């Protein structure tokens, strides 16, 4: 295949946002929308919306605009919300527990199939019906269950070793909640969350406001 237009990350990162706004429009029973109306709701230019959408093909109709439900479904397909991904969480601390309990991920196609931790007291317990296993069992688990994504909520000092183990088992996607940037070669995709960074930027912007 290879629809080689080379779509920029800036565009990709806006897709979930379009997806959310279109969902909200559906909830409001709005059937069609023009790029102009949508631009006012989203606070971006109509031009950018049309430009973004045309990276993937023409979803609209001249003189009419876009059919909300159709566009929602098309963006969903691009984002792969019609596919399912098996995810494991490494680290059953507070953040691991919070993510395992978050129902929204499942709705978006991401199933948390297991949680792993080193703490004997946690092993064998369940979080939101998901079993907590010993980290020793990761290779065994990955061998018998297809795992698409590893969600890493381990302490920062362990992150490098854990990331290496995970990738050596063939897992190709990592959602990283540790402050350390992960970079694991060409064929492993990583999304770094970096909550502290986000909070520090908020602090900066708050102080800037009244300089």
Partner DNA sequence: TAGATTGTTAATCGATTAACAATC
User: With contact defined as beta carbons under 8 Å apart, do 88 and 113 qualify?
Assistant: yes
- HSE toward the beta carbon, residue 124, CA cutoff 13 A: 2
The rounded distance, in Å, linking the Cα atoms of 54 and 21 is: 18
97 is a site residue for DNA (CB under 7 A): no
CA 44 vs CA 15, 48, 52, 140: distances in Å? 13, 7, 11, 48
Q: Mutual orientation of helices 9-27 and 68-79 as an angle, nearest 10°? A: 140
Binding map of DNA across residues 2-41, x = CB under 7 A, - = no contact = ------xxxx---------------------xxxx-----
User: What are phi and psi for residue 49, nearest 5 degrees?
Assistant: -60, -50
User: What residues from 108 to 137 belong to the interface with its own copies (CB under 8 A)?
Assistant: 108-110
Q: How far is the CB of 7 from its own copies (least distance, A)?
A: 9
Which residue in the set 16, 17, 47, 83 belongs to the binding site for DNA (CB under 7 A)?
A: 47
Q: How far is the CB of 133 from DNA (least distance, A)?
A: 41
Three-class SS state of 57: coil
Applying CB under 8 A, which residues contact its own copies?
1-3, 12-13, 15-17, 19-20, 43, 78-81, 83, 85, 93-95, 97-99, 101-102, 104-105, 108-110, 148-149, 172-173, 175, 179-181, 183, 187, 189, 191, 193-207, 209, 211
Footprint of DNA (CB under 7 A): 8-11, 33-36, 44-48, 50-51, 53-54, 58-66
């Amino acid at each position: 295949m290879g629809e080689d237009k080379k779509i920029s990350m800036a565009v990709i990162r806006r897709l979930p946002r379009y997806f959310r706004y279109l969902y909200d429009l559906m909830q409001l029973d709005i059937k069609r929308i023009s790029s102009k109306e949508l631009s006012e709701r989203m606070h971006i230019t109509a031009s950018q919306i049309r430009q973004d959408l045309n990276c993937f093909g023409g979803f609209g109709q001249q003189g009419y605009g876009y059919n909300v439900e159709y566009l929602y479904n098309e963006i969903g397909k691009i984002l792969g919300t019609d596919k399912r991904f098996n995810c494991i969480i490494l680290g059953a601390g507070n953040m691991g527990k919070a993510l395992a309990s978050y129902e929204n991920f499942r709705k978006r196609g991401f199933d948390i199939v297991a949680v792993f931790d080193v703490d004997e007291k946690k092993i064998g317990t369940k979080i939101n019906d998901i079993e907590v296993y010993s980290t020793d069992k990761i290779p065994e688990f990955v061998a018998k269950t297809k795992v698409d994504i590893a969600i890493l909520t381990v302490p920062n000092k362990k992150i490098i070793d854990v990331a290496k183990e995970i990738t050596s088992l063939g897992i190709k996607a990592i959602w990283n909640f540790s402050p350390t940037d992960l970079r694991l070669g060409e064929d492993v995709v990583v999304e770094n969350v970096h909550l502290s960074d986000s909070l520090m930027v908020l602090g900066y912007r708050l102080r800037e406001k009244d300089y």
